[in-house]
Amino acid sequence: MSDERIVVQLPLSGSTDFDELIDIENALTLAFLKDRAAAVEGHTLSGKAFNISIAPRADPSAVVDRIKAALAESGVLDEALIGTRSTAKEPYSVVWPAGYKGTLEA
């Protein structure tokens, strides 16, 4: 079993609708249901973020492209951070948005 992971991080605030966050997680699950190129493994809350963990089973860059499409369809792509890592010991590297200078703590 690979330790490779992708995380989608969405910000939390006092006005966050958790049902909408679960709807986004479900949309990501549906995006990979047919061909199983990735598996959505659930979500966690960390600090002021909602993190959705995804295990890619295909080319991670292709999986990220499908994640971005699903987030765009849900209207939250501009709010999201997407990070990848190859092993559990590595920190996540932000791959979306391009040129992002911060870190992703998940």
Tens-place pLDDT, residues 72-101? 999 999 999 999 999 888 999 999 999 998
Residues of the chain with pLDDT below 70 are 1-2
Asked if residues 83 and 9 have their Cβ atoms less than 8 Å apart, the reply is yes
Q: In terms of DSSP bridges, do strands 93-96 and 5-11 run parallel, antiparallel, or are they unpaired?
A: unpaired
Asked if residues 87 and 41 have their Cβ atoms less than 8 Å apart, the reply is no
The architecture of the domain spanning 5-96 is 2-Layer Sandwich (3.30)
Q: How high is the pLDDT of residue 96?
A: 97
Beta strands in 47-103 (DSSP E): 49-56, 81-85, 93-96
Q: How high is the pLDDT of residue 37?
A: 95
